[in-house]
Structure 1
């Protein structure tokens, strides 16, 4: 059985890992968007407009999931621990 402290530590590290991944994905899509979009558009046969929309959907969904399932519970446990 996990203690409250262990769960809080787990959620803290999971939050950090997910936030770093989200930032990295955002930087890669923003910085190398043209090269990556060319590969993805050929691979999946999607035009540039739809591909940009799918990138935005991915980043926004990932951000919401990270906030709901990792950051919010971590903050709630931190508040409870005080």
Structure 2
């Protein structure tokens, strides 16, 4: 496996993961009530806690994408 292959892989992983993050964010922003109703069938969670859990999840997901995909991608761009 060459550096070019790994760099391409990390680039596409970054694009896909940021797309998933954008989808999650838009879904929570525009379909918040529907998502809350679906989740409240399974879990008894107040709206404030629901929002906190989702936004914290988005933050951790974004941090993981940056640490494991985007930073290594740029490091390989610098090395190559």
TM over 0.5: yes
Which segments of 5 or more consecutive residues in structure 2 lack a partner in the other structure? none
The structure whose RCO (Cα within 8 Å, separation 6+) is larger is 2
Shift of 1:26: 0.4
Structure 1 runs, 4 residues or longer, greater than 6 Å off: none
Q: Structure 2 length as normaliser, TM-score?
A: 0.95
User: TM-score normalised to the size of structure 1?
Assistant: 0.92
Q: Which deviations, in whole Å up to 9, do the C-alpha atoms of 1:40-76 show, x marking residues without a partner?
A: 1221111111111101111000000000000110011
Task: State the aligned residue count.
Answer: 80
Structure 1 segments unaligned to the other structure (5+ residues): none
Distance in 2 (CA, whole Å) between partners of 1:8 and 1:63 is 19
